[in-house]
Amino acid sequence: MKYTILLLASFAFFTVEASSQCRGFTKRNCVPILEDYLQNDNYNAAILIPGDEAELDMAFYGGVSYRIVVCSHSILGEVEFSLNDYDGNALWTNTDGEKHLDIQVATTQQLSVKIKVPSNESSLIHEGCVSIMLGSKE
């Protein structure tokens, strides 16, 4: 029983530590990409491994300029992301390797950002932080 509690406490510590490292990574590497856009109050980041996919729905208000930033640890490779409409149709993809997208929508709408971490053939599985940030300016 004592070992079970110790094991669970260890897992909790490592989870908190990974989250803390991801938050620090985001602050150092992602926030500067927003430049003069004001960051929204949401912190959207996850620890991902090669082959993982993630999706985040976001509300965009008409007449507001936005910058969407997706940044990741370099160990994950070139992370792909796309902006999709309500039906899942891709409106934009970062096929050119861009780490951010500047947009302005005419009407308020719900869009989603889809992320895909490239697979790799390595027997070692590396994990890394992937952050999605949304900045705005009027």
Query: Whole-model pTM?
Result: 0.81
C-alpha to C-alpha distance for 106 and 48, rounded to whole angstroms? 33
Domains and CATH numbers, the chain: 2-137 (2.60.120.680)
Write the pLDDT tens digit of every residue in 92-118. Answer: 999 888 999 999 999 999 999 999 999
Write the pLDDT tens digit of every residue in 45-95. Answer: 999 999 999 999 999 999 999 999 999 999 999 999 999 999 999 999 998
Write the pLDDT tens digit of every residue in 4-22. Answer: 444 344 333 333 444 568 9
Alpha helices in 1-138 (DSSP H): 2-25
pLDDT computed for residue 138 by the predictor:
81
Q: Which of 113, 115, 107 is nearest to 60 (CA)?
A: 107
Q: Which letter does DSSP use for residue 49 in this model?
A: -
pLDDT computed for residue 18 by the predictor:
47
C-alpha to C-alpha distance for 45 and 54, rounded to whole angstroms? 10
Residue 103 token pair = 């947009």
Q: Which residues sit opposite 56 in a β-bridge? A: 113
Write the pLDDT tens digit of every residue in 14-44. Answer: 334 445 689 999 999 999 999 999 999 888 9
C-alpha to C-alpha distance for 107 and 45, rounded to whole angstroms? 27
**Single-letter residue type at 100:** H
